[in-house]
Amino acid sequence: MELKLSMEDHLKPTEYCDYNNPEIMARAKELTKNDKTPKEMALSIFRFVRDQIKFMMVSDDDKASDTLIKGYGDCGTKTNLQVALLRAVNIPARYHVASLHKECIKGIVSKLFYTLCPKIIPHHPWCECYLSEKWISCDTLLDKPLVEVLYKKGIFTKEEIQTIDWDGENDLNTMTTWMVEDKGTFPSLDEIATKVEEDSKKFPEKLVKFVVKRSNKHTDKLRGQ
């Protein structure tokens, strides 16, 4: 039997999505202070998370407030921050999860990280928010400076990722080219975040941090080209 969720389930704080954190609340208020409609607020939050929170891998189980402080994140942590900021201004938001072929990160991460990555990435989330009485995908995965280089160097084509721009009305999901299985939507990412953290413990912590740090140097160097 399918569990029916109320809209309130998509407005609650969780341990991972800690939007009741003072810094999250303050940043959400600041980002949307000049906006007059939920759509305008969602767009302001979208642009901030997409471009001001750089795409890089993380080795820790970061909460939304951690990601805000660090200024970077991967698919899970960037999405989580976006959901938190949306909920902080009373816009219902949720997580849509799919598995992806690892080719979606080839060239973005270091060769070592790519080699160690499983063939199928089991949990890739993106944000959906509720606007105009419908759920809309608003994926913030890749920041604009990085994508411009990916196009320039031919790492991705316009056919693979058509756009990273969102109009607040239509779905945006940058990873559909590599999708293996759609796993549906969730009001909380806490259980998946815990599972990812447990899986990472199969490897020595020092190794994980080394591989992630080396990969992020590669990504940042790429972004600067």
Separation between Cα atoms, residue 51 and residue 225, nearest integer Å: 16
Mean pLDDT, the chain, integer: 93
User: Over the stretch 72-107, which tens digit does the pLDDT of each residue have?
Assistant: 999 999 999 999 999 999 999 999 999 999 999 999
pLDDT of residue 198: 65
CB 75 within 8 Å of CB 126: yes
pLDDT of residue 205: 81
Structural domains of the chain ordered from first start: 8-223 (3.10.620.30)
| Position 9 pLDDT exceeds 50 | yes
User: Over the stretch 172-199, which tens digit does the pLDDT of each residue have?
Assistant: 999 999 999 999 999 999 988 776 666 6
Sequence-distant (6+) residues with CB within 8 A of 153 are 107, 222, 225
Q: Is the dihedral of CA 50, 55, 61, 62 positive or negative?
A: negative
Structure tokens at 98: 């799919």
User: Over the stretch 105-155, which tens digit does the pLDDT of each residue have?
Assistant: 999 999 999 999 999 999 999 999 999 999 999 999 999 999 999 999 999
Separation between Cα atoms, residue 197 and residue 14, nearest integer Å: 17
